[in-house]
Amino acid sequence: MRGLLMQKPISGRITLSGYEGSELLVGRLLIECGADLRYVGSACPATEWNAHDIEWLKAKGVQVQMRASLEQDLNAMYEYRPQLAIGTTPVVQIAKQNSVPSLYFTNLISARPLMGVAGAGSLVQVVQAAMGNQARFDAMKDFFGDVGAGHAAGVWESVPKDRPEFKAETRRQIEKLLKKRKAEEMGS
């Protein structure tokens, strides 16, 4: 196994997040495969059963966040600027919107074997292939620009116009509604 890891190490910065409980194991394997892993977020709690893995990852300089929220996972992605984001559906979606190669943790990582030569070899192969797609993301971003983003998202018959005054009024109405609900809750 060491021979395999030395022949084709993963070279690149990665963030990892998930909710299944195997994130710490995958994080350790990524590091052992040569990856520069900066963050592991898990929806699972810290327990006596994962304490050793948490400490091992932290000793390698990895930020570990147990009971991680989507906001924490995204903040890590923005802070560490990975060459690959492995994560949940919303993390992958936002990574791709930002032209960051990404992999779905559940479908493409935790569903594969993780132990032994087959596990390490499979992980190395899928991670390296995804990281090799940066040029494709850059070409798509260059071609499409901001088409379909922000106020222009969706299907339109003509070029959509941004309406900041409408957004401000809608935001004001929502805030008013939330204040009303909070007052009603406090009164009951």
For the chain, which residues make up each domain, given as ranges?
2-143, 150-187
Q: 161-176, pLDDT tens digit by residue?
A: 888 888 889 899 999 9
Q: What is the pLDDT of residues 93-132, one digit of tens each?
A: 999 989 999 999 988 898 877 777 777 778 888 999 999 9
Residue with tokens 């495969």: 33
For residue 14, give the nearest of 131, 134, 141, 138 by alpha carbon. Answer: 131
> Sheet of 102-104: strands edge to edge?
63-66, 36-42, 13-18, 84-87, 102-104
pLDDT at 1: 72
Question: Which residue has better confidence, 148 or 158?
Answer: 158
Q: Which of 48, 45, 25 is nearest to 37 (CA)?
A: 25
Distance in Å from the first CA to the final CA of the chain: 64
Range 39-54 average pLDDT? 96
Cβ pair 102, 92 in contact under 8 A:
yes
* pTM score, whole prediction: 0.76
The superfamily in CATH containing domain 2-143 is Nitrogenase molybdenum iron protein domain (3.40.50.1980)
Helices in 16-163 by DSSP H: which ranges? Answer: 23-32, 51-59, 70-80, 89-97, 116-131, 134-144
CB 45 within 8 A of CB 19: no
pLDDT, position 142: 86
